[in-house]
Amino acid sequence: MTPRVIAIGGSAGAIDVLRLILPVLPSGFEPSVMVTVHVPENRPSLLASIFADQCRLPVSEADDKQPLMRGTIVFAPPGYHLLVESNATLALANDEPVYWSRPSIDVMFHAVAEAFRASAVGVLLTGASHDGADGLARIKATGGKVIVQDPETCVADTMPRAGIAKAKPELVLSPHAIARYLSTLGTQSEQELA
């Protein structure tokens, strides 16, 4: 089954990993991709514009009440948690930081788990906090698939190790293997990709 949404979160070192993953996603890719990276709150993020030039899919920074369109990539803006409602509408919240971060990966993962349940995939990348581990476990508990970057390939391995301990992911992969897996999701069996 092709997932409805793939939620990707990371912190220290994650931009370099995203450069290996997002440009590989092919034209005609069906799932929506939501991305939260820990970025400073006090200045604009250039992530959407940087990745728009590198990706085959449309890339934007999320807006409040924006429909989450299939085959698009949306980044959480600085200073706001990125959520999604069950009707596939994005929401931005300036609630308290989680693990000193706003946007928070946990907040996005929890929202994705509740909105899409078994149609969700959560991917936790390199990072130096525990943000994302609880939300990743929630995606798994609601029937979604969870993937964690292999800690041996991380700039900072705290986040993926916390995700592995908390969520017991089906897949722990290198960045290149994550890219390969996601790009073919729904078109090949997991055995062919392992």
Residue 150 is among the residues annotated as catalytic for this protein: no
Q: What is the DSSP letter of 77?
A: P
**Residue 50: which residues within 8 A CB-CB, separation 6 or more?**
none
Q: What pLDDT does residue 190 have?
A: 40
What's this model's pTM, rounded to 2 decimal places? 0.94
User: How confident is the model over 82-93, as a mean pLDDT?
Assistant: 97
Percent of the chain residues past pLDDT 70, beyond the cut: 95
pLDDT at 176 over 70: yes
SS3 59: strand
The residue extents of the domains of the chain are: 5-193
Q: What is the CATH number of domain 5-193?
A: 3.40.50.180
Mean pLDDT of the chain: 94
Q: Which residue in the block uniquely carries the two structure tokens 């995700």?
A: 163
pLDDT higher than 60, residue 2: yes
Q: What does the alpha-carbon distance between residue 164 and residue 75 come to, in Å, rounded to a whole number?
A: 24
Q: Is 81 a catalytic residue?
A: no
Given 11, 32, 101, 104, the catalytic residue = 11
pLDDT above 90: percentage of residues in the chain: 89
Report residue 156's pLDDT band, with 50, 70 and 90 as the boundaries. very high
Of residues 38, 81, 110, 130, which has the active-site annotation? 38
The predicted structure's pLDDT at residue 192: 41
Task: Give pLDDT tens digits for 93-121.
Answer: 999 999 999 999 999 999 999 999 999 99
Known catalytic residue at 38: yes
The catalytically annotated residue of 101, 106, 130, 131 is: 131
Q: Is the pLDDT of residue 73 over 90?
A: yes
